[in-house]
Amino acid sequence: MATLDSLLSQIDSGSMLLPEFQRGYVWNRDQVRGLLRSLYLGYPVGGLLVWETETTADDVRGTSEAAGNRTLLLDGQQRLTTLYGVIRGHAPKFFEGDKNAFLGLRFSVEEESFEFYSPAKMKGDPTWIDVTKLFQEAGLTPFIDEFSDPKYKEKFPEYLKRLSELSSISKREFHLEKIVGKDKTTDVVVDIFNRVNSGGTKLSKGDLALAKVSAKAPDLRSQMRKELSVWESNGFDFNLDWFLRNINAVATGKALFVHLDDVPISDFKKSLESTTKYINFLLNLISSRLGLDHARVLMGRFALPVLSLYLNENGGKFPSKAEQDKALFWYIHVGLWGRFAGSTESMLALDYEILKKSGLDGLIKEIERVRGGNLNISPSDFKVNTMGSRFYPLLYLLTRVGSAQDLLTGITLRKQLLGSLSSLQVHHIFPKKVLRDAGVRRREINAVANFCFLTQESNLIISKREPKDYFKQVIKEAGEEALASQWIPLDKKLWEIENYAEFLEARRELLAEASNTFLDSLLNGQADELSLPRLSAPEDEDSKERKADIDKLILELAEYGVVPPLTDVEIFHPETLELLTIAEAYWPDGLQPGMGEPILLELDKRDVDEEKMEDLEMKVFYSISRLKRFVAAQAKISSGESSA
């Protein structure tokens, strides 16, 4: 057992760390109020799970920290972070989140309730006590003076009793479950945590490995965050776990994070610097040679740790253009076939070993083996939907590296586009409205074979016209070659709305042929040496209004501590892999990590198989307003003002 006072003192001294892991601090104000209310009333609030890990003098050299044991809080982070913030009046080390969630809390000695400061309601009223001030002040003397007014005479004893009960929270004892011993490796600790916390968000091995590294050198986490923010500003979104996998590859040549335990901090820092250079090099290469210049089209993210290892073993560069093109060939196939979609760690470990023994040729043969000896792309591979599918980036790639032309201006889209109306945009060849009116379901409307890319100017001019109409303008102004350059069938019968399915089949054949031609040129070292400029990220003009509504919803829900969802995402059945729906927003781990069932927002009810969703225990909302009401109701329950 340990008192809250002693736990907070350990956090102050640095002997107990709150690394927050990937999810950071996610609680909202209602949950903060609910926790303080439960403690005040003497309700149980659960124990804590901690891991004791040892640091050496070498680990902490150059800092003010001494060698010795560090205790990492594993389970109970949100609770202890909240209590630290409320009692100390500021966030603890490693904090990542909204510090306003626990600042400004007030306690009503009259109503015995907790609320956050509201000037209109509380200004000038001494019965609303600043909770942080109560814990920061020595004793109750300042508050005794505030209740000296005769009108509080009768309630004076009761007020003091309630304040005393509130201040006694700091003496509350918490049960500590400790994980100790040199045999408790990162893998073992993660397994223990996930068994104990089976109903919540799973702790990843990367979470714990980074927490352990940060315990030795707290500045490393912020340095990694800084690099992530630079990539984000350039259109690429990565997380700490992914970054750490790259660093691990460079530092140890291994996939398992446990190998980082033996890496001195000085070596880790050097590997961090080298890895950052390798990732920058690879992102520039993938952008300039393949045109994949932003997050939505960046396929095969976990191919980058493998390529980072390759660069580290080859002096930070490819020895020849042929080797570089082989790497790009392998990278594309890794992304298309989802090599790392399952057991990422196992696949990385295997690929590291293959790379060391057989180089890039070995990696390519492995992909070929898994694919049954054939890496050719077939028309059926393009039978996918939405911008979230793996073949959407391939379509974008073909547009950038080939001779695809803007349909009205005839400009080659690999060139730099200038002007406010010249950003690259996603265009539905058969417009959404036309297909909806014809009774086509959304998943078929959003078939990748129905996408092409245009300048914003052309997209606005074409608007919602049918292909049989605006294709005539294309031929008149840019010629049939403009259509052919976008792999659009020239058979006019296929331009009719009733032949939409046949149009898709014909275009898939053209796209597959173009894909194989380009990939073969990479493998054979015959691909053009391109230096493609970055373009504005593609937008679907028809979806901008709906996207704006979803963006607004995400901001509003953030006030309740709801984490950002996945957007415009395909939901597949985990066993049959059947496409169930395409969700506007999806929270796979609940609205807050580990709290509640998966939540899905789908604004087209006819596209949802409700029975299958119910079997998968997903809660589906069909309107933004209903989801908002649900979140508000959950907030009341969290605060203790309402029961479930």
Is residue 165 helix, strand or coil? helix
Residue 485: band (very low, low, confident or very high) from pLDDT cuts 50, 70, 90: very high
Residues 472-482 pLDDT 10s: 999 998 899 99
CA-nearest of 26, 76, 72, 74 to 46 is: 76
Among 222, 267, 260, which residue's Cα sits nearest to residue 244?
260
Residue 446: partners with Cβ closer than 8 Å, 6 or more residues away: 385, 386, 387, 428, 582
| Residue 314 and residue 255 in contact, taking contact as beta carbons nearer than 8 Å | no
Can you spell out the DSSP letters for 575-627? TT--EEEEEEEEETTTTBTTBSS-EEE-S-GGG--HHHHHHTT-EEESSHHHH
Q: Coil, strand or helix: which one is 424?
A: strand
Please state, as a whole number, how many other Cβ atoms lie within 10 Å of the Cβ of residue 607: 16
The predicted pLDDT at position 567 comes to 83
Q: How far apart are CA 557 and CA 590, in angstroms?
A: 13
Question: Of 433, 466, 463, which is closest to residue 541 (Cα–Cα)?
Answer: 463
**Residue-level pLDDT at 96:** 72
- For 39, the enclosing helix (H) or strand (E) is helix 29-40
- Quickly tell me which residue has 């990492």 as its tokens: 72
**How many residues can be counted in the chain?**
644
pLDDT band at 590 (very low <50, low <70, confident <90, very high): confident
Residue 198 vs residue 28, higher pLDDT: 28
Report the DSSP beta bridge partners of residue 174.
Answer: 2
Residue 58 has pLDDT above 50, yes or no: no
Average the pLDDT over 112-122 and give the result: 92
Output the pLDDT for position 64: 39
Of 397, 416, 410, nearest to 458 by C-alpha is: 410
Residue 201 reports pLDDT greater than 80: no
pLDDT at site 148: 75
CA angle 484, 330, 298 (to 5 degrees): 65
Q: Are 7 and 174 in contact (CB under 8 A)?
A: yes
Helix (H) or strand (E) holding 392: helix 391-401
Q: CA–CA separation, 587 vs 377, rounded Å?
A: 33
Reported as a pLDDT band with limits 50, 70 and 90, residue 643 is: low
The predicted-structure confidence for 103-115, as pLDDT tens digits, reads as follows: 899 999 999 999 9
421: pLDDT confidence band, cut at 50, 70 and 90? very low
- The CA-to-CA distance between both ends of the chain, in Å, stands at 31
Task: Enumerate the domain spans of the chain.
Answer: 2-179, 218-370, 379-539, 542-639
Residue 200 has pLDDT above 70, yes or no: no
Q: Does residue 63 have a pLDDT over 50?
A: no
Residues pairing with 54 in the sheet: 69
What are phi and psi for residue 572, nearest 5 degrees? -105, 150
Grouping H, G, I as helix, E, B as strand and the rest as coil, residue 202 is coil
Amino acid symbol at 63: T
Q: What is the mean pLDDT of residues 335-356?
A: 91
Helix axes 265-290, 391-401, angle to 10 degrees: 60
According to the model, what pLDDT value does residue 60 have?
Answer: 36
If you average pLDDT over each of 8-17, 305-314, 392-401, which comes out highest? 305-314
**Cβ pair 554, 560 in contact under 8 A:** no
Per-residue confidence band for 565, with pLDDT thresholds at 50, 70 and 90: confident
Name the average pLDDT for the chain: 85
pLDDT in tens, 249-295: 999 999 998 888 889 999 999 999 999 999 999 999 999 999 998 88
Q: Would you state the structure tokens that stand for residue 348, as one six-digit string?
A: 């990385």
Candidate from 178-192, 218-232, 553-567 with smallest mean pLDDT: 178-192
Comparing 197 with 90, the larger pLDDT belongs to: 90
Strands 48-55 and 176-179 turn out to be parallel
pLDDT at 152 over 60: yes
Q: Which residues contact 532 (CB under 8 A, 6 or more apart)?
A: 287, 288, 289, 290, 291, 293, 400, 401, 414
CA distance 297 to 213: 32
Q: Which pLDDT belongs to residue 369?
A: 95
Q: Give me the pLDDT at residue 449, please.
A: 95
- Token readout for 176 is 């500590």
Identify the weakest region by mean pLDDT among 316-320, 326-330, 511-515, 636-640. 636-640
Contact 89, 132 (CB under 8 A): yes
